[in-house]
Amino acid sequence: MRAGMVRGADNEGRDTGQNPHPQLDVAGNSRSGGRRVSVAIVDDSLPLQKRLAALIPQDGSAEVIAFASSVFEAVQLVWDRSPDVVVLDFQLQDGTALNVLEAIEEKVPHPAVIVLTNYPEPIYRSKCLEAGAYRFLDKSTEFDRLTETIHEIMGGRNGE
């Protein structure tokens, strides 16, 4: 995504009025009624993939549909499986979250991407958010916010 562009904007940065996450309604609810929100986990650590999968809301509102451990696999997964949410590590085997975000910027419907990383430097945070990430979380201090963030995306913050 070019600098200054935001989701829901045209190439000149003008608001298009379009929902940047068309699979969700304005309140963040699934457009298909009771369909569970699909989540893809992208991390190059298998133990962390399992730990992240255990954090996905267990109330039946979300389900993990796929895992990936590289930029190549992540991009292929997003284009082939169209998850609603992607939990994405910043540093992967063959590149970074920025490579993934750039490769999927034109994907419609566009997934809500949560970057979860051990590289919380402000420059990475700003670049990821500018490139279209929904949220940028530090694994060491914000790991427990993953479930909250997924509920936020779904439009139903923990029990609301």
Q: Look at residue 34 in the predicted model and tell me its pLDDT.
A: 64
Each residue's pLDDT tens digit, 140-150: 999 989 989 99
Q: What is the mean pLDDT of the chain?
A: 81
Residue 21 pLDDT > 50: no
Q: DSSP label at 110?
A: P
Residue 33 binned pLDDT confidence (cut-offs 50, 70, 90): low
**All domains of the chain, ordered by start, with CATH?**
37-154 (3.40.50.2300)
Instruction: Give the Cα separation of 134 and 7 in Å (integer).
Output: 10
Measured in degrees and rounded to the nearest 5, phi and psi for residue 134 equal -75, -40
Whole-prediction pTM = 0.76
Instruction: Give the Cα separation of 124 and 39 in Å (integer).
Output: 23
- Residue 40 Cα distances to 9, 12, 76, 101, angstroms: 25, 31, 12, 14
Nearest in space to 91 (alpha carbons), one of 77, 70, 105, 74 = 70
Q: By mean pLDDT, which of 28-32, 55-59, 124-128 is the weakest?
A: 28-32
